Amino acid sequence: MIRLLDIKREIEVRSLDRLYDMLHFNSEFVEKKEFEKYKASRFKDRKMVVVTCMDSRLTDLLPRALNIKDGNSKIIKDAGAIVLHPFGSVMRSVIVAVYELNADEVFVVGHHDCGMSCIDPSETINKMKENGISSETIDTLESSGINLQQWLHGFDSVEDSVKGSVQTVKNHPLLPKHIPVHGLVIDPETGKLDLIVDGYKHKES
């Protein structure tokens, strides 16, 4: 028990260090006007919105591999590039990008070697309990109709997952029918793109 408390204290100290280091850097960033070179309009020439994974390997690689420069695309990230619910936050962001930020094309970009392809919901739930989430809380959620196993489940095939997300976006009742929705898979090592769904061939006029 004492060891566990020591570990938690160490984590808290590290978190504080990260926070204060970030704030210190940010203060110098603003003071030196480093932001000047990143200034951009909300409305860029390439009116596209990209839904992709939050994997850190894609942070720099994906924009370069897709030739996205100077913020000329709206990028939405989540675990696995999965559009799980038609009225969830990811889909809401796509709709906002289309109607408020002038996006007229959607790209769903998954990637090979994605952590969501091998996630074990039961193991994740056990990790929750190890971090102080009580079994009572888990049971209450389950009895309220929330299937945590299903909610935490990823996918077996990234290609099928991308196809499913494309369908969720494309068939959304609030998405204009003329908006093409593409599906691609990127290699997180080389940046090579595989076309899974060509939205131009499935677009309705």
User: What is residue 89's predicted lDDT score, i.e. its pLDDT?
Assistant: 97
User: What is residue 1's predicted lDDT score, i.e. its pLDDT?
Assistant: 47
User: What is residue 199's predicted lDDT score, i.e. its pLDDT?
Assistant: 96
* Number of domains observed in the structure of the chain: 3
One digit per residue, pLDDT tens: the chain, 205 residues? Answer: 455 556 566 656 566 788 889 889 889 988 999 888 777 766 666 789 999 999 999 999 999 999 988 777 899 999 999 999 999 999 999 999 999 999 999 999 999 999 999 999 999 999 999 999 999 999 999 999 999 999 999 999 999 999 999 999 999 999 999 999 999 999 999 999 999 999 999 766 5
202 falls within a domain: no
User: What is residue 39's predicted lDDT score, i.e. its pLDDT?
Assistant: 76
Full residue range of the structural domain in which residue 130 is found = 121-150
108 falls within a domain: yes
96 falls within a domain: yes
Asked if 97 and 175 sit in the same domain, the reply is yes
Asked if 140 and 62 sit in the same domain, the reply is no
CB 179 within 8 A of CB 98: yes
Asked if 24 and 58 sit in the same domain, the reply is no
Helices (H), 146-197: 148-152, 158-170
Measured CA angle at 145 (ends 91, 170), to 5 deg: 20
Asked if 73 and 145 sit in the same domain, the reply is no
d(CA 186, CA 193): 5
Of 64, 52, 87, the residue nearest 161 (C-alpha): 52
100 falls within a domain: yes
Asked if 8 and 76 sit in the same domain, the reply is no
Would the pTM of this model clear 0.85, i.e. be above it? no
Amino acid at residue number 22: M
User: What is residue 166's predicted lDDT score, i.e. its pLDDT?
Assistant: 98
Asked if 87 and 108 sit in the same domain, the reply is yes
Asked if 24 and 67 sit in the same domain, the reply is no
26 falls within a domain: yes
Asked if 144 and 84 sit in the same domain, the reply is no
User: What is residue 18's predicted lDDT score, i.e. its pLDDT?
Assistant: 87
